[in-house]
Chain A
């Protein structure tokens, strides 16, 4: 009994942080998630990126300008690592991407993941983590499917600080399933816009030499 106790505390001690790097946003179970989101995929490649390494202060300024909002707080910083899952088809060509970002929510961190096709159009949207009184409504499939078919161009006119979209645009048509959770709804939209901008900076602008696909 005592040995078990000692071993237990040894294991308790092992609940420690090896690395002092900032926390990124990884899929909890990449094998399962990739198979679920891309049923025909043959595999995936994981790429680790950060604004600091990819373009430094200049890139951060560009991202903030496109987002229409400053990166803020203790944890939204230039050195946050981003994990990009590049999905491969049977012929080993890239058929899509999965990318997630952390976003501050009303009661905790929100992790917003997007699965996109190879041109950057959203195939699937979901919260990997969300703490909210209206979590059930926000996590409903009805809410997530609204994002299907949207791309960065649809979010370009969305004003993050005010949380207002241009009337008549696809983003303006997105319905908040829980009016009491307006802050978390806005946080989700900010996360999607940031996610799409980062993907554009990390992947599409690079592969098209700065021209949008």
Chain B
């Protein structure tokens, strides 16, 4: 058997440029396939992680929130609609609810941020309720504020880095001329929390004149409790909007689905082109060695021997091309990821291309199988050569 592979390898090396180009084609198609399969698995896992890290499964917001959030960003929080804090008691009364975290977000225009000013947003949260939703937070310095009415802030790492703040430093709320003290810096989480400035809910309500108002309530559902049932009940509350994180996930996955279908079609085309390349290379090689194959058969080689020899050539091409392509996809997955993030409207944190051993093995196996399939016809043509016709130079 080793002899067959040795001869097959020597045959391939007779036309080095052609073999190299075919290997490059197979390599590229396996690279594309492994990267896309890795993306398929990685993106979903990263999205799950992002959503799980939000700490709650359902978010209740004031109706019209998406539009008003845009207002918040553009006009500094003026003219916003809020939900009444009394909703909190109603939500807490539902048997499915495990915990709730009331939130009030407010943004102010800071004329000294950048050349033409910028927005700074503050998230007011309860010192008891919100930390319980985010048990995975670790502090680089300090800890959570304890007093629900304290003029204190906890900063996400990015926010602290931008503001060059450490525990004990002061911050100034633009326009209000109010000082707040930094009491905690959260370690990087790799989520939107890194850029957030947290303050006690009551303090944000008082500073911005929004007493008794909220912009959102994060809801964690009890383990095993029916989320859909709770959502149905929340829909009945007036002037609020229910956003289910499961729906957010499914919306993102739906948005991505059409793009993924197109990309998988491209991958399929890449594999087909690689297969056509294999057929072309091996068939050309068979035609060029027609007489040689005839001599082999006249010397006693059976059709199955010739078939095996040609299929071994295909196999070697696919094994090497596939291995190089998958290894390339694994080694350069970070580069591919950067390129993909550039084109995606939304990409979650973490590795969005996760080429696991099973993904690598699956891609490699698919490419080798497709390649071997495309090698069947050239192998059959070679096995069918009639020795005398071939030696006379006829019958190609």
Contact = CB atoms under 8 A, between A and B. Distances in A.
Interface of A: 1-18, 20, 22-23, 28-29, 33, 73-76, 102-110, 127-133, 135, 139
B346 A14 contact: yes
Given A4-B66, A13-B346, A16-B348, A131 B190 contact: no
14 contacts: A9-B243, A13-B192, A16-B50, A17-B188, A17-B349, A74-B141, A75-B160, A102-B164, A107-B171, A108-B171, A128-B115, A131-B113, A132-B172, A133-B177
A127 B66 CA distance: 34
A5 B255 contact: no
Given A13-B248, A102-B164, A107-B171, A74 B185 contact: yes
Contacts of B67: 4
Interface string B229-246: 000000000000101000
Interface string B331-363: 000000000010001111100000000000000
A12 B191 CA distance: 10
Question: 9 closest A-B pairs (Cβ-Cβ)?
Answer: A8-B66, A109-B164, A107-B172, A6-B251, A104-B164, A135-B112, A14-B346, A108-B163, A23-B161
B294 to A, nearest CB: 61
B66 A5 contact: yes
B194 interface: yes
Contacts of A128: 114-115
Nearest to B167: A74
Contacts of B192: 12-13, 15-16
B177 to A, nearest CB: 7
A131 B164 CA distance: 11
A17 B243 contact: no
Given A8-B69, A20-B190, 10 more contacts: A8-B66, A14-B347, A16-B190, A16-B191, A16-B192, A20-B188, A22-B161, A74-B140, A74-B161, A107-B171
B81 interface: no
Interface string B179-212: 1000001001011101100000000000000000
Given A13-B348, A20-B190, A8 B164 contact: no
B225 to A, nearest CB: 22
B359 to A, nearest CB: 22
Contacts of A20: 188, 190
B172 A133 contact: yes
Given A17-B349, A107-B172, A129-B114, A8 B252 contact: no
Contact of B171 (A8, A103, A131): A131
B289 to A, nearest CB: 53
Contact of A75 (B111, B112, B161, B172): B161
Q: For the complex, would chain B's binding face be called helix, strand, loop or mixed by DSSP majority?
A: mixed
Given A73-B164, A131-B110, A131-B172, A5 B241 contact: yes
B112 A139 contact: yes
Interface string B158-174: 10111111100111101
Nearest to A135: B112
Contacts of A74: 140-141, 160-161, 166, 185
A3 B255 CA distance: 11
Contacts of A33: 115
Contacts, number: 124
Given A7-B251, A14-B347, A74-B140, A108 B165 contact: yes
B381 to A, nearest CB: 52
A5 B243 contact: yes
A129 B112 contact: yes
Contacts of B169: 104
Contacts of B59: 9
B255 to A, nearest CB: 7
Contacts of A23: 158, 161-162
B314 interface: no
A128 B117 CA distance: 10
Given A6-B247, A22-B161, A108-B172, A17 B241 contact: no
Contacts of B252: 10, 13
B117 to A, nearest CB: 10
B195 A17 contact: yes
Interface string B102-138: 0000000011111100000000000000000000000
Contacts of A10: 248, 251-252, 255, 346
